[in-house]
A and B are shown apart, each in its own frame.
Chain A
Amino acid sequence: MKPPPVVYHGPDTVQEAVRLLAEHGGHAKVLAGGQSLVPMLNMRLTAPARLIDVNRLDELAYVRTDLEGVRVGALARHADVERATHAFEAVPLLRQAVRSVAHPTIRNRGTTVGSLVHADPCAEMPAVLLLLDGEVLLRSDRAGERVVKAADFFVGPMESACEEDELAIEAYFPRPKGRTGTDWRELSRRNGDYAMCGVGTSVRVDETGAVTSAKAAYIGMGPVPSVVDVTGADFSAAAEHAADQLDPEDDIHASAEYRRHLARVLTARSLKAAYEAVAP
């Protein structure tokens, strides 16, 4: 389990990184936290000719909160997102969900933006971005900067809208509108494992406590993270409805049918918790 030969680049600026991607994009991989890429290299499951290591781009190591929401730079580690109290206060779902990302040692290295670009359908942060209607800022030599909506970003399993010559610069997680409660829960075989089923929910209520919007996002339940709008149903009916929309697969850890069952149970529990967080 040693990687094949690879040419290493360690750019000092975003501009240089983007230029390297323009030159080598099709044959290069961006190395940030390396928590997925390095094992894949070692197992020779991927063999890029070049690695473009962005770990020197300190300018992207930020978690910023403003009136709009939370902006996470490409070099912010999951642990930075987890610890940023201002981010939690603005977008509680960030901390609620990031705590389920693997283990602390992995969160110390792995980056949130890297996880989004990697687009693993079992990963938490893509579903969070999707549930919050967030965005990803991309930059290339060819097209400059462009913003891609979460709904357009996750194209397929392990496939995002980030082109070969593009560097993901920042993820934007908008503040939930009005009185919105959120919740994240999942069931995994062991603590920190990929979830057999993971559910994030967002419930908005008016002053009387009536639900005006309810949505649930899922991981591990299909080729891409998915969001189901369950506004208008009571929570258990909503859970049934959502589970019916999902298309999980069997694997050695759980059957598809069990995963769908979990989706029902966890959705009902999660909607209730999200609701209770904001109900008057």
Chain B
Amino acid sequence: MNDKLVGQPLVRKEDPRLLRGDGRYLDDLGRGALAAAFVRSPVAHARITGIDVDEALDVEGLVAIYTHEDLPGRIAEPLPLLIPHPDLTHPRTPYCLANGEVNHVGEAVVMVVATDRYLAEDVAERIRVTYEDLPPVVGIDQARAGERLVHEDAPGNVAARSVQTNGKGEAHEAIASAPHRLALDLHIERSASMPMEGKGVLAHWDADDRTLRVHSSTQTSTSVRLAVAAKLELPPDRVEVITPDVGGGFGVKIVHPWPEEILVPWAAMTLGRDVKWVEDRREHFTSSAHERAQQQHVEVGFDEAGRLLGLSVEIWHDNGAYVPYGIIVPIVTSTQLLGPYKVGAYRVEFTSLYTNTVIVTPYRGAGRPQGVFAMERTMDAIAEYLGMDRLAVREANLIQPEEMPYDQGLVFQDGRPLIYDSGDYPTMLRMIRDLVGWDGFEAERAAAAAEGRRIGIGIGAYVEGTGMGPYEGAHVKVETTGEVVVSTGLTTQGQGHYTSLAQIAADVLGVGVGDVTVITGDTRRFKYAVGTFASRAIVTSGNAVAIAAAKVAEKAKRIAAAALGDGVAPEDLELVDGRVRRRADPATAIDLRTVAVLSNPLRYAFDEETKAATQFAAATATGEEPGLEATGYYMPERSTYAAGAHGVVVETDPETADIRILRYCVVHDCGVVVNPRIVEGQVHGGVAQGIGGALYERIVYDDAGQLVNASYMDFLIPFATEVPHIQTAHMVTASGLNPLGLKGAGEAGVIPTSAVVASAIEDAEGLAVRRMPISPSELYELRKARQARKEQVSA
């Protein structure tokens, strides 16, 4: 047998090409295409009173200017509400181009098409749009107050209000009758996905064929295809969507269709010319999507041992100006907040609020970092209150392995019950305790203090629902050259699918990983898929690839058995080292590539190889469809739950309040690991984004609704210099829900980072951290406030 490839830390097949600069991104395509640019709203909330294009008309190179009035049919209607929900009572979605009113800075008002992007921007600069200002709603406080409205027909700015309870008693009663009670008010500020490559669309209309070919930098080519077909009123089979190399997604590119994904193909059809739009960085800041901003009020009741008896959480979620992606983020916060803990009676209520800011849609973690922040801050507050060890409080509340599967009594974002399928949380906490050096930390703290240094330690855990449905599929084909081609409908944007999916297929087919080519995100190759988001790709597509490859293997055995003759039965055969051979007699074998030749009975010979498949030569299995290929789908019944624990040691400068991370440790359980190197890379990247969210990244709007830091100079993504070495340890509790035992890993690293960094700063400083991110300037303010309180007390 081959050594199994699943589980091996193979280097990524995609990297040499990308590192050499041979990647092919959206803007590398469509040379000679017309370029689109947009006039976008410079104000947060206003009625459009006029659009004057006169000055723009004499710019040489101008091809077309479109406003909302020019849009026909369904294109003139609001964009779809992608994920409806009964609690989303006041859904509002944007138009492709503003229809008389703008609701955030950056909303598209006019589309310009010109012979190149420079000229398109020259035209856009000369178009005069006049606005009648309306009062802007900025920030959660103003949205909650409801005195100003984003949408006149959404009272109180409320898009949705939702309550869930876990069926374990009435939370308020449980809290009221508990021996101890605490309340916390928490804040998480706005951040954003910020992929290095922004969005982009290229469209080609073939008027003879009446087909549309769209390239988009998206996380879901199949869904963009259906959305474009619906809006342009074309049969889906007339639309193909291809995803080239994608320079990061992190959630923002799962939203679809973006206005530009409709407008650019429509313009290409209307003009009969290729049209391209490439989002620039400023557009990405003001016109794509943000996430994270929430206020939370937590009430908790607990006993002497720190065990939770009741937990009530109220969440106010800033969803921006529109909700095209529904209320997924606050649903995830509400349900994943519980983490690995039993909390007694639980009640969570969220209010999703409109503001005159960019829309809010999932960004890696997708509401979980906020939920974990609430839960872990609560754990620390209980420890502080009871004078207990922070880890001991957590241990007192853990779900035990023998309680698996554990039903949290809630409904998850996939509409299915939130049931943890497997996990060993006590072991996980023991591992992070050792890895981060929890037990020896007081000595470390004392040693640092002797040098005048101040350090603190933080810890936290999370559970992440991954691998949700409805399904993914794959087509696996063995070429007559022996190459195995795996086509999957999901897209890839850095996750290493060309390697990890190849490992899975190679194991089943008994070939090397180098023999397998993976194709993603091209609806010409595979039409049915959901998309790459929510830590679902390896679970759903990985299992689909295994299922399809297994069908191919069975077919190969049937054809080989017929070809080998001599009473060889398919079940006597195995696929090893690129051959189909008899288990009992490995010398009796046939090359897999030859089986591929035989799988396609031929009338005509093209070369020596194919001669073997012609009618007077072949000994092929009868009744088989031609081609050594098969399609397989995996449809999970519900999500599978990965988990992890992080530990961090920070140093805070007693004078400057500078905050430095000295040590960052991760224990991670994503079930069976297909490629440990890739998983580790995913965790590292996630932690880097988590550190961004904890210490640096903050989208800032002023009172007028202007985004004041819409550039990489002022929106601080951590550099390599800000990300410490990350120590990781894996544990494996396989999922019983899917054949391969996999759980997702894509978002893991980012989830508890703000919580553990806050915990460590609290520990270093001895003051409460209730708002993230935190900067040195803010830590200085916290110190000053504490000093003022002390002076007040002593006075």
Contacts and interface: CB of A to CB of B under 8 A. Distances in A.
Contacts of A103: 719
Contact of A190 (B656, B721, B781): B721
Given A1-B282, A254-B777, A258-B781, A44 B721 contact: no
Interface string B544-588: 000000000000000000000000000000000000000000000
B280 interface: yes
Contact of A196 (B121, B713, B719, B776): B776
B698 interface: yes
B47 to A, nearest CB: 26
Interface in A198-257: 252-255
Contacts of A4: 121-122, 125
Interface residues of B, number: 29
Contact of A258 (B280, B709, B713, B780): B780
Interface string B651-662: 000011110000
B780 A43 contact: no
Contacts of B657: 258
Contact of B776 (A3, A192, A252, A258): A258
B714 A190 contact: no
Contacts of B700: 252
Interface string B597-608: 000000000000
Given A2-B117, A190-B718, A191-B722, A44 B125 contact: yes
Contacts of A190: 696, 716, 718-719, 721-722
A73 B746 CA distance: 50
A266 interface: yes
B441 interface: no
A99 interface: no
A230 B355 CA distance: 50
A103 B280 CA distance: 23
A253 B776 CA distance: 9
Contacts of A262: 656
B172 interface: no
Contacts of A2: 117-118, 121
A196 B118 contact: no
Contacts of B718: 190
Residue among B118, B776, B777 with the highest chain A CB neighbour number at 10 A: B777
A123 to B, nearest CB: 13
B166 interface: no
A258 B193 CA distance: 29
Nearest to A47: B125
A255 B657 CA distance: 13
A265 interface: yes
Contacts of B776: 187, 189, 196, 254, 258
Contact of B698 (A5, A192, A252): A252
Interface in B260-289: 280-282
A44 B282 CA distance: 12
Contacts of A192: 719, 721
A5 B121 CA distance: 10
Nearest to A255: B777
A254 B777 CA distance: 5
A66 interface: no
A276 interface: no
A192 B722 CA distance: 11
B184 interface: no
B781 A266 contact: no
Nearest to A261: B780
Contacts of B719: 103, 190-192
Interface string A123-158: 000000000000000000000000000000000000
B716 A1 contact: no
A58 interface: no
Contacts of A191: 719, 721-722
Interface in B739-795: 775-777, 780-781
B708 interface: yes
B117 A253 contact: no
Interface in B490-511: none
Contacts of A266: 656
Contacts of B121: 1-2, 4, 44
A153 B656 CA distance: 32
Nearest to B718: A190
A2 B709 CA distance: 19
Interface string A169-193: 0000000000000000001011111
A252 B656 contact: no
Contacts of A194: 713
A33 B674 CA distance: 47
B781 A252 contact: no
A118 to B, nearest CB: 15
B781 A187 contact: no
Contact of A254 (B282, B714, B721, B775): B775
Contact of A252 (B122, B714, B722): B714
A266 B280 CA distance: 38
A91 B319 CA distance: 55
A254 B781 CA distance: 10
A51 to B, nearest CB: 15
B125 A193 contact: no
A238 to B, nearest CB: 16
Contacts of A189: 696, 716, 775-776
Contacts of A1: 121, 280-282
A117 to B, nearest CB: 20
Contacts of A255: 777, 780-781
Contacts of A196: 776-777
Contacts of B708: 252
Nearest to B280: A1
Given A252-B698, A255-B777, A265 B722 contact: no
Contacts of A265: 655-656
Residue among A187, A253, A255 with the highest chain B CB neighbour number at 10 A: A253
Nearest to A42: B280
A15 B696 CA distance: 47
Contacts of B125: 4, 44
A44 B780 CA distance: 37
Interface string B51-77: 000000000000000000000000000
Nearest to B717: A190
Contacts of A44: 121, 125
A4 B708 CA distance: 23
B656 A253 contact: no
Interface in A84-111: 103
A261 B719 CA distance: 26
A246 to B, nearest CB: 16
A61 to B, nearest CB: 28
B282 A43 contact: yes
Interface string B717-736: 01101100000000000000
A95 to B, nearest CB: 19
A103 B698 CA distance: 22
A265 B653 CA distance: 11
A258 B777 contact: yes
Contacts of B775: 189, 253-254
Residue among A1, A4, A254 with the highest chain B CB neighbour number at 10 A: A1
A193 B656 contact: no
Contacts of A193: 716
A254 B696 CA distance: 12
Contact of B658 (A3, A187, A252): A187
17 contacts: A1-B280, A1-B281, A2-B121, A4-B122, A5-B118, A103-B719, A190-B718, A190-B719, A190-B721, A191-B719, A196-B777, A252-B714, A253-B714, A253-B716, A254-B776, A255-B780, A255-B781
Closest 3 CB pairs of A and B: A191-B721, A254-B777, A1-B280
Interface of B: 117-118, 121-122, 125, 280-282, 655-658, 696, 698, 700, 708-709, 713-714, 716, 718-719, 721-722, 775-777, 780-781
Given A4-B125, A190-B716, A196-B776, 9 more contacts: A2-B121, A3-B118, A4-B122, A5-B118, A5-B122, A252-B700, A252-B708, A254-B777, A261-B780
